[in-house]
């Protein structure tokens, strides 16, 4: 396949960026999207040019490191898929592909397609945990957890923290990310003692970071590579109201 | 000693008279860890804040250690190259974590987990360490569940288990195909809680480039800020490396693209002995490579072998659609050769069997590099719903990558580099040969011998991080309470910074022809062909010469664009590959020196007539330890003899 690429290039967070056009040839449909960019980068390096910087690590869809806007969609056209798991068989010969970093004020661009998502770590730090010191845990089977509860907690916990939800949302809201973590911990029996304070602290931190509010566009759910449901945002809202009114 | 290469030259290896003191306690096996703990020094809670501890790496080992040390009151500083500690490669572990809980009442016990791990490692691990690991396994599950790790449960609400290779009980706890991610989130959240309390400071996007020694003790690190390029130094009373394994020496592996050996290799060059570098694990169930552009290989969890059946056509080069090959024309070779364990033989055995089948011409797929992993029987027997619940996400992942649906056609799988049992030598306290430098998780060599059993990596990382290092590090630090603290003004820090800068300058100024990836791929191919699933003296000798040549070319011809004062991914890779090029040579030398086959180390010259590994306990029941001796190629060799007081090494049979 032969493809035209329009890629956002930006030297660092303080310089302005711009789109630069590239052409890549001999792209196999079995290549992953990132392997296609590898091919471009190898050529740029050998031509003495600066390769395109992009974040990636496990390349098996679980670490949450990779992520870019592909033709305006976070992680590209395939539902439930991270950028590294998107393969070129989903594009056609001769296509033009526009590639940009995740766009949100809360995710400042570091270079080219790389953004800073540390705001997510700060939200977890604000209360996204169950306080249990190492060594003080009781026997694991002493608390039974209904299978349906455990399964729902798992569905929420499947979030990989990639930030696609924020990037796609017109409000740059982190509601799905925050809701997933709060739901994971708040529905398990082990998470009950801190339920209220966790909810308030994480939501406050989310607001303080500058993420927008949810206005039910549901774009987050549509691009989430782990297909986490917006039902969790409804749960989050309920938890918030219960938390402030006790 | 002299190691003769088949290429005509020979290697002169200095034999070191270093005496290893592993500080293993005596007494009955089941009392050893308790006795050790009773003897370890303590530090009173208010005094702990006087001690600074550096942790490099935030996978399961690093995050669990840093969280626990923070909780105890030490001042902890953490570094990781990823943009967030939550992304370390432990996250990719799919299948599960072992623990001898015996919840299934299938007669499991600490002894059995210990015994199977020692046997699985082909009797090349220390008994006392492995027993302690088995003992602590149960505490890990308690800890993780209390943190909210959503393990699979049965309909009564109790924890569920499944089985893994090399064992005959169901002791593996799992969270669908995301066990690593869920356990890491538990550890990461515990870590962020300590950050919130002010006990831990995290530096993401920072890569460790040197460990600093003062008066022979580890007293700090030099790191590069991957965003600005700034070279920074940090002083501490102890340094913990939790930086994972070195499978990326093969270029194509199941590791994350960023996984690297730089931290342990720089520590090795400062005096830490490297143990059993040739003990690598090639995982049997990975998706075969599809072309030259391939950037990494994807693992399909071993748990699939619980229900999937592995086969090849009985006829060589049979190109028929697998569905058209009738039952009596299929060779379920694992079930045939190893009836007792069948498809659940350990990884080394399954990988080599697949290689033998493909080498003999029975392989499937376009290049004959692959065997079938077939679920059709299981789907018939258990129904689609059950299989969907057990493996749904793995099936989806396979389909995304290959375009084939495992519901319709059998998966095609082939072995790939996955894990390294070798690593920095550590004693029972998990301290390396450098005082004050501790090494935990995959980065050390300690518990898996010559082959690791499935679902044991997560167990070891968390045992090391949550339960062992917090106790043993206090014993090291306690006598230092009244000592004067060092800071980064010390000349050793300046010297180390200069060395790091000169390496960076050299790489940036070479301005040669080819990219770093070009060299990494070439190195990987040499290693896979000659120091991979099976090895022989001729291949290893050639590899040693080829690596030397490649390394020379690298330093003269590599092209690293950009400069140091920016985010420069080519430069990051260039430093990692430079280290892999040296480590690769040591792996080949170690493989050549170990004239026996054991676990993942298979020397073709040392095999039974059936092609199984032939161990030589009389000559090789030891840990091979290598000391840096000033330049690459000139290592000094020493042994730690392995003593078996409780189990008797026997032929490792899974038939």
Report pLDDT digits (tens) over B251-266: 999 999 999 999 999 9
The answer to whether B570 faces chain A, any CB pair under 8 Å, is: yes
The residue of chain B with its CA nearest to that of A122 is B192
pLDDT confidence tier of residue A246, bands split at 50, 70 and 90? low
Please give the average per-residue pLDDT across B403-428, as a whole number: 97
Distance separating alpha carbons of residues B186 and B143, to the nearest angstrom? 9
Alpha carbon separation from B425 to A41, B236, B376, B464 (Å, rounded): 38, 21, 45, 14
Distance separating alpha carbons of residues B207 and B211, to the nearest angstrom? 12
Contact flag B400-A60 (C-beta cutoff 8 Å): no
> Which residues of B are marked as active site?
347
Per-residue pLDDT at A129 exceeds 70: yes
Report pLDDT digits (tens) over B198-256: 999 999 999 999 999 999 999 999 999 999 999 999 999 999 999 999 999 999 999 99
Mark which residues 151-210 of A lie under 8 Å from B by CB: 151, 153-154, 157-158, 160-161, 184-185, 188, 190-191
The answer to whether A74 faces chain B, any CB pair under 8 Å, is: no
Q: Answer yes or no: do A127 and A234 share one domain.
A: yes
Contact flag B204-A118 (C-beta cutoff 8 Å): yes
Mark which residues 583-642 of B lie under 8 Å from A by CB: none
Structure tokens at B405: 């649906």
Report pLDDT digits (tens) over B374-400: 999 999 999 999 999 888 888 998 999
Report pLDDT digits (tens) over A136-150: 999 999 999 999 999
Q: Answer yes or no: do A103 and A137 share one domain.
A: no
Residue that finishes a domain, picked among A111, A138, A153: A111
Please give the average per-residue pLDDT across B40-62, as a whole number: 98
Q: Which domain holds residue A131?
A: 118-245
For chain B, the farthest-separated pair of C-alpha atoms sits apart, in whole angstroms, at 77
Report pLDDT digits (tens) over A212-231: 999 999 999 999 999 999 99
Backbone angles phi, psi at B51, to 5 degrees: -110, 130
* B182 closest CB neighbour out of A48, A125, A157: A157
Contact indicator for B371, B354 with CB cutoff of 8 Å: yes
* A110 closest CB neighbour out of B227, B254, B467: B227
Q: Answer yes or no: do A145 and A207 share one domain.
A: yes
Find the Cα–Cα–Cα–Cα dihedral B346, B427, B77, B464, rounded to 10°.
Answer: 40
Contact flag A144-B192 (C-beta cutoff 8 Å): no
Q: Answer yes or no: do A145 and A98 share one domain.
A: no
Nearest chain B Cα distance for residue A82, angstroms: 10
Report pLDDT digits (tens) over B13-41: 999 999 999 999 999 999 999 999 999 99
* A147 closest CB neighbour out of B157, B176, B181: B157
Contact indicator for B568, B578 with CB cutoff of 8 Å: no
Dihedral over Cα of B588, B593, B595, B600: its sign: negative
Please give the average per-residue pLDDT across A42-49, as a whole number: 94
Report pLDDT digits (tens) over B491-536: 999 999 999 999 999 999 999 999 999 999 999 999 999 999 999 9
Residues with Cβ within 8 Å of B525's Cβ and at least 6 positions away in sequence, in order, are B251
The answer to whether B155 faces chain A, any CB pair under 8 Å, is: yes
Helical axes B516-530 vs B537-557, angle rounded to 10°: 170
Q: What is the CATH number of the domain that holds A56?
A: 3.10.20.30
Q: Whole-number mean pLDDT of chain B?
A: 96
Q: b/e per residue, A202-224, with b = 16+ CB within 10 A?
A: bbebbeebebbebeeeebbbbbb
- Per the listing, tokens 């956002």 go with A8
* A39 closest CB neighbour out of B254, B293, B562: B293
Nearest CA to B441 out of B8, B93, B17 is that of B93
Stronger pLDDT, B223 or B162, i.e. the higher one: B223
Residue B290's pLDDT is what? 85
Q: Whole-number mean pLDDT of chain A?
A: 97
The answer to whether A65 faces chain B, any CB pair under 8 Å, is: yes
Residue B610's pLDDT is what? 84
Nearest chain A Cα distance for residue B36, angstroms: 18
Distance separating alpha carbons of residues B129 and B138, to the nearest angstrom? 16
Structure tokens at B427: 């004693």
Q: In the structure, how many helices (H) and strands (E) does chain B have?
A: 18, 22
Per-residue pLDDT at B655 exceeds 90: no
pLDDT confidence tier of residue B167, bands split at 50, 70 and 90? confident
Q: Answer yes or no: do A20 and A126 share one domain.
A: no
* Per-domain residue ranges of chain B: 283-416, 489-619
Mutation choice for B interface testing from A42, A43, A54, A60 by most B CBs within 10 A: A60
Total tally of structural domains belonging to chain A:
2
Report pLDDT digits (tens) over B565-620: 999 999 999 999 999 999 999 999 999 999 999 999 999 999 999 888 999 999 99
The answer to whether A37 faces chain B, any CB pair under 8 Å, is: no
The answer to whether A25 faces chain B, any CB pair under 8 Å, is: no
Alpha carbon separation from A62 to A7, A66, B527 (Å, rounded): 25, 10, 27
Q: Answer yes or no: do A207 and A188 share one domain.
A: yes
Please give the average per-residue pLDDT across B472-481, as a whole number: 98
The answer to whether B141 faces chain A, any CB pair under 8 Å, is: yes
User: What are the start-end ranges of the H helices in B121-260?
Assistant: 127-147, 179-196
The answer to whether A1 faces chain B, any CB pair under 8 Å, is: no
Q: Answer yes or no: do A212 and A235 share one domain.
A: yes
Mutation choice for A interface testing from B145, B186, B191, B516 by most A CBs within 10 A: B145
Per-residue pLDDT at B161 exceeds 90: yes
Q: B498: number of CA atoms within 13 Å, CB side? A: 5
Nearest chain B Cα distance for residue A38, angstroms: 8
Nearest chain B Cα distance for residue A138, angstroms: 6
Residue that finishes a domain, picked among A90, A111, A132: A111
The strand pair at B97-98 and B206-214 is best described as unpaired
Give me the CATH topology for the region B489-619: Methane Monooxygenase Hydroxylase; Chain G, domain 1 (1.20.58)
Contact flag B145-A140 (C-beta cutoff 8 Å): yes
Alpha carbon separation from B304 to B95, B173, B285, B393, B459 (Å, rounded): 9, 15, 9, 11, 20
Coil, helix or strand at residue B577: helix
Contact indicator for A60, B298 with CB cutoff of 8 Å: yes
Give me the CATH topology for the region B283-416: Flavocytochrome C3; Chain A, domain 1 (3.90.700)
Nearest chain A Cα distance for residue B350, angstroms: 23
- Per the listing, tokens 């991270």 go with A82
Residues of chain A contacting residue B86, judged by C-beta atoms under 8 Å apart: 64, 121, 124, 161
The answer to whether B192 faces chain A, any CB pair under 8 Å, is: yes
Contact flag B515-A87 (C-beta cutoff 8 Å): no
The strand pair at B75-79 and B200-203 is best described as parallel
Contact indicator for B178, A62 with CB cutoff of 8 Å: yes
Q: Answer yes or no: do A64 and A99 share one domain.
A: yes
How many other CB atoms are there within 10 angstroms of residue B475's CB atom?
18
Contact flag B290-A42 (C-beta cutoff 8 Å): no
Residue B575's pLDDT is what? 98
Distance separating alpha carbons of residues B131 and B141, to the nearest angstrom? 17
Nearest chain B Cα distance for residue A81, angstroms: 8
Contact indicator for B184, B178 with CB cutoff of 8 Å: no
Distance separating alpha carbons of residues B386 and A81, to the nearest angstrom? 24
The answer to whether B232 faces chain A, any CB pair under 8 Å, is: no
Residues of chain A contacting residue B178, judged by C-beta atoms under 8 Å apart: 62, 154, 158
Q: Answer yes or no: do A222 and A142 share one domain.
A: yes
R_g (Cα) of chain B, nearest Å: 24
Helix, strand, coil percent values for chain B (each to nearest 5): 40, 15, 40
Nearest chain B Cα distance for residue A130, angstroms: 5
Mutation choice for A interface testing from B59, B207, B296, B395 by most A CBs within 10 A: B296
Residue that finishes a domain, picked among A111, A133, A148: A111
Q: What is the CATH number of the domain that holds A236?
A: 1.10.1060.10
Contact flag A145-B153 (C-beta cutoff 8 Å): yes
User: Chains A and B: how many Cβ contacts under 8 Å?
Assistant: 223
User: Per DSSP, what are the bridge partners of residue B310?
Assistant: B373
Contact indicator for B84, A117 with CB cutoff of 8 Å: yes
Report pLDDT digits (tens) over A111-120: 999 999 999 9
Residue B459's pLDDT is what? 98
Distance separating alpha carbons of residues B162 and B106, to the nearest angstrom? 12
Distance separating alpha carbons of residues A223 and B21, to the nearest angstrom? 55
* B569 closest CB neighbour out of A53, A118, A160: A53
Q: In the structure, how many helices (H) and strands (E) does chain A have?
A: 8, 7
Coil, helix or strand at residue B216: coil
Contact indicator for B44, B474 with CB cutoff of 8 Å: no
């Amino acid at each position: 396949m032969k493809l035209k690429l329009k890629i956002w290039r930006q030297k660092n967070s303080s310089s302005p960026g711009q789109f630069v056009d590239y052409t890549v040839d001999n792209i196999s449909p079995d290549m992953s999207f990132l392997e296609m960019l590898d091919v471009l980068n190898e050529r740029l390096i050998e031509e003495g040019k600066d390769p395109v910087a992009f974040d990636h690590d496990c390349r098996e869809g679980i670490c949450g490191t990779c992520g870019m806007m592909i033709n305006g969609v976070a992680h590209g056209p395939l539902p439930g898929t991270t950028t590294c798991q998107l393969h070129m068989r989903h594009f056609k010969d001769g296509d033009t592909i526009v590639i940009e970093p995740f766009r949100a004020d809360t995710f400042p661009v570091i270079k080219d397609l790389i953004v800073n998502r540390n705001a997510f770590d700060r939200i977890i730090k604000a209360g996204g945990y169950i306080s249990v010191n190492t060594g003080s845990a009781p026997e694991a089977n002493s608390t039974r957890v209904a299978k349906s509860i455990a399964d729902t907690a798992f569905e929420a916990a499947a979030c990989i923290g990639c930030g696609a939800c924020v990037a796609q949302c017109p409000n740059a809201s982190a509601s799905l990310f925050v809701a997933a973590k709060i739901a994971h911990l708040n529905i398990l029996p082990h998470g009950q003692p801190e339920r209220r304070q966790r909810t308030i602290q994480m939501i406050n931190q989310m607001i303080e970071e500058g993420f927008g509010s949810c206005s039910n566009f549901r774009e987050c759910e549509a691009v989430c590579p782990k297909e986490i449901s917006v039902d969790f945002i409804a749960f989050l809202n309920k938890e918030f109201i219960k938390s402030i009114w006790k | 000693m002299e190691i003769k290469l088949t290429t005509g030259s020979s290697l002169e290896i200095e034999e070191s008279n270093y005496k290893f003191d592993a500080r293993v306690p005596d007494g009955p096996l089941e009392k050893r860890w308790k006795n050790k703990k009773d003897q370890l020094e303590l530090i009173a809670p208010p005094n702990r804040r006087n001690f600074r501890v550096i942790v490099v790496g935030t996978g399961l080992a690093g995050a669990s250690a840093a969280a626990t040390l923070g909780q105890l009151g030490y001042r902890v500083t953490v570094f990781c190259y990823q943009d967030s500690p939550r992304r370390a490669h432990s996250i990719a572990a799919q299948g599960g974590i072992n623990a001898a809980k015996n919840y299934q009442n299938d007669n499991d016990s600490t002894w059995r987990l210990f015994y199977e791990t020692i046997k699985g490692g082909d009797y090349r691990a220390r008994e006392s360490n492995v027993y302690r690991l088995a003992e602590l396994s149960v505490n890990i599950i308690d800890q993780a569940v209390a943190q909210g790790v959503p393990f699979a449960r049965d309909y009564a609400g109790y924890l569920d288990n499944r089985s893994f290779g090399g064992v005959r009980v169901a002791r593996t706890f799992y969270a669908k195909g995301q066990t690593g991610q869920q356990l890491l989130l538990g550890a990461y959240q515990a870590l962020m809680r300590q950050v919130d309390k002010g006990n831990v400071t995290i530096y993401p996007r920072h890569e460790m480039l040197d460990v600093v020694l003062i008066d022979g003790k580890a007293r700090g690190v030099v790191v590069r800020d991957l965003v600005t390029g700034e070279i920074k130094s940090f002083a501490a009373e102890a340094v913990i490396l939790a930086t994972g394994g070195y499978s990326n020496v093969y270029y194509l592996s199941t590791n994350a693209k960023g996984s690297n050996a730089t931290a342990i290799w720089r520590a090795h060059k400062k005096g830490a002995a490297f143990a059993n570098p040739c003990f690598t694990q090639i995982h049997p169930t990975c998706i075969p490579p599809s072309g030259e552009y391939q950037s990494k290989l994807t693992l399909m969890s071993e748990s699939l072998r619980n229900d999937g059946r592995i086969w090849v056509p009985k006829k060589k080069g049979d190109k028929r659609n697998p569905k058209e090959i009738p039952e009596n024309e299929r060779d379920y070779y694992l079930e045939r050769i190893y009836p007792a364990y069948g498809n659940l033989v350990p990884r080394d055995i399954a990988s080599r069997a697949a290689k033998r089948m493909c080498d003999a011409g029975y392989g499937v797929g376009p290049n004959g590099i692959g065997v079938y992993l077939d679920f059709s029987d299981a789907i018939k027997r258990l129904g689609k719903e059950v299989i969907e619940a057990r493996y749904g996400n793995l099936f989806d992942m396979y389909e995304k990558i290959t375009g084939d649906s495992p519901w319709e056609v059998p998966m095609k799988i082939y072995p790939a580099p996955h894990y390294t049992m070798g690593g920095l030598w550590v004693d029972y306290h998990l301290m390396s040969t450098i005082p004050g430098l501790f090494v935990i998780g995959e980065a050390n060599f300690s518990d898996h011998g010559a082959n690791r059993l499935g679902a044991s990596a997560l167990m070891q990382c968390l045992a090391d991080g949550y339960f062992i290092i917090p106790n043993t590090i206090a014993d090291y630090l306690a006598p230092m309470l009244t000592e004067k603290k060092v800071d980064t003004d010390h000349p050793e820090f300046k010297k180390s910074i200069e060395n790091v800068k000169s390496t960076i300058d050299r790489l940036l100024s070479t301005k040669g022809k080819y990219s770093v990836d070009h060299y990494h791929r070439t190195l990987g191919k040499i290693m896979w062909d000659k120091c991979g699933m099976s090895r022989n003296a001729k291949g290893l000798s050639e590899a040693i010469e080829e690596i030397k040549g490649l390394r020379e070319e690298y330093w003269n011809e590599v092209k690293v664009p950009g400069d140091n004062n920016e985010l420069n991914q080519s430069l990051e890779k260039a430093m990692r590959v430079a280290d892999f090029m040296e480590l690769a040579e040591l792996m080949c030398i170690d493989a050549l020196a170990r004239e026996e086959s054991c676990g993942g180390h298979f020397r073709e010259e040392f095999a039974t007539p059936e092609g199984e590994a032939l161990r030589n306990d009389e000559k090789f029941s030891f840990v091979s330890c290598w000391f840096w001796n000033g330049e690459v190629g000139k290592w000094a060799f020493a042994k730690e003899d392995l003593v078996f007081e409780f189990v008797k090494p026997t032929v490792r049979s899974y038939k």
